[in-house]
Each structure stands twice: as C-alpha cells, then as structure tokens.
Amino acid sequence: MAWNEPGGGKQRDPWRDNGGNGSGPDLDALTRRLREFFNRLFGGKGGGPGVAVVAIVLVWLVFDSFALIKAGESGVVLRFGEVARLMTPGINFKLPRPIETLYKVNVGGMRTTNAQVRMLTRDENIVLIDFNVQYLVTDPQKVLFGVRDPDGTLGQAAESAVRSVIGAGTMDTILSGQRAELITRAKQQLQATLDQYKTGLTVNALNFQNVRPPQEVKDAFDDASRALQDKQRLEEEAKAYASKVVPEARGDAATTRAEAEGYKSERVARAEGDAQRFNLVQAQYKAAPEVTRKRMYLETMQGVLERTPKIIDFSGGKNIISLPASPEIRAAVPGAAGATVVAPESGKGGR
C-alpha cells in the first residue's frame, strides 16, 4: 500500500494512522499492550527479562522447526528417541526439540579406507598385501544406530575378509593371474559381514594394490616368479605347436584315407568291369567260337600295334597301310605327317 494516497489533500502515515484523526501512533499502543500482557503473565510491572526470555523462546521455536538438508545428505528425524522419518535434500519442517531431533548423514560421497596386512598363506609363506576399499552409505538409519563406529567396523571386516581369502590360498595362486578371483571372493565376504552387522554400508570396490613377499625373501621369490613365467611361456609354446601340428597330421591322415578309399573303389570297379566283360565275351564265344576268336585276335593286335611305330605287313606289300593319327607314331615315322605310306613290293616282312 502506498504511503501517500490521494484524498483529503494530506499525506497519510501508516505508522501514525489511527482512523484519520492523528490521535497517536499505533505501534506504541501495540507495544504498550504487549508489555501489559507480559506484565500480567509474569506478575510484574516492568516485564523486561520475562519478555526477553519469551521472545528468545519463540524465535528459537520458529528457527528450530525448519531444517536445511544439503545435496548429498540425508536427514534422520527422531521423535522422542524413535526414528520417525527420513528427510530429503531441501528445506524440511520438523517439530522443535526436544520433540524431534535431526541427524544429518553424508550419503553422496565415496568413502575410502586403506590397510596393509602381513599374513601366512596355506603353504606357510609370508605375504604382504596393501588393499583399498571404496564404499557408500546406503542406509543412513543403520549407519547412525546399527553399529557404534561404521567406518571402523568396515576396516576391521575388510581386514578379516582379506585374511580369510588369502589364508586359504597358496603363494603361487596369489601371485599368479588368479588375483581377480580372490578379490571377488573377498568383496563378497566383506559385504556379507557388513549386512550381517547392519552397518548400512555397501562396498563399491575392493582392490589389492600391492601383493609382494617380505623384503627378506624378495630375491628368492623373484627367482621363483621368473621360473613360473618361464614355465608358463614354455607351456604356451607347446600348446601353440600342438595346435599347429595336430591339425596337419589329422589332415594328412584324412587325405591318405581318402586316397586309399578311392584306389580301393577304382580297383573294385575295374575288377567288376573285367569280370562282366569276360562273362559277355564268354557268352559270345559259346555262341560263335570262330568269329569271337578272330575278333578278339584283331582287337588285341590293334591294341598292340597302335602303340608302336613299327608296321608289319603280312600281305607281301600288296596292301595299302594308313598310319594312325597318334602324334607319337607320326613323330617316330619319317614322312608320316599327313602322308599315306605304302608298303614296298619287295618281300620284306616289316618296316
């Protein structure tokens, strides 16, 4: 509302406006009434200390009824000592103390703990392990009231889990490539312990930062480690050689078997064909022995003579003999390239 409002041609003061008659300030009258009220309340006339105390109490009640929860925090509200509710980030209302009490817990940041353990393995070797655990607060109520010291409890539980896993393994297993399996087992055991004790903490990561033997026996362990690496290298080379040689041998064996099967099939088929041909010839021979004998003689002589460059003429030179078209015979007989050779009239039996 504006202080100077039109009307009446005069300025109106909200601090001294009393219905427009200008009889006195309202603020003074209100203060006087409040003083009289507190005087009657506390049975005195001045009312100075009593008024101050009441004012302080009222201010305290007002400001204690609101709580600011920052991002990454969670508020646990207790009502007469019992957990009533959880507050989310932002401005929240609550009843003033001692009715309701607020506890703030940081749930957004990653927490970390580190430790080193010296212990015996299953094969009675000493090993030093530096490990690191990263964890989060997932249940503010359990963090506040589950255990007395959540962070200390987690450190002790982590050391117990690492000792349990490492103590059950051998030095070769711990120093070899099976470390990831040991880390997984230790993490699972640690989380089971935290859940059992209701700490409200969740393990995000567990790592073995350094696994080494004590300094007193470091040289001996280095020699053993190099020997183990040489063993693994030779095993890998042997596996690679076997992977190369075995398939080749199997392929050669399969090729040999296939060739043998083919040769067998060929010989069997040829033998069966010869037997069938002999049976046919035998049947023809029984029907016409003379004709069959002559035909077989001619076929045999044709098969023999067509593979030799020599020509035999039994007619005394009276027949005309045409040379075969075989390139080998033409190359062996002079003048036989596309020509017809006539046996001489002399009585020579061959040429």
DSSP 110: P
Strands 100-106, 73-79: parallel, antiparallel or unpaired by DSSP? antiparallel
**CA proximity to 272, closest of 284, 264, 283:** 264
Q: What are phi and psi of 116, to 5 degrees?
A: -130, 135
Note the pLDDT tens digit of each residue in 143-170: 888 888 888 999 999 999 999 988 888 8
Note the pLDDT tens digit of each residue in 267-326: 999 999 989 988 888 888 888 888 888 888 888 888 777 777 666 666 676 666 665 555
SS3 27: helix
Fold entry, domain 111-212: Tetrahydropterin Synthase; Chain A (3.30.479)
Note the pLDDT tens digit of each residue in 4-47: 444 444 444 544 444 444 444 465 676 677 667 666 655 555 45
Conformation bin of residue 107: beta by default, left when phi > 0, alpha when psi is -120 to 50: alpha
Segments making up each domain of the chain, as ranges: 1-63, 66-106, 111-212, 225-304, 306-351
Instruction: Judge if pTM exceeds 0.85.
Output: no
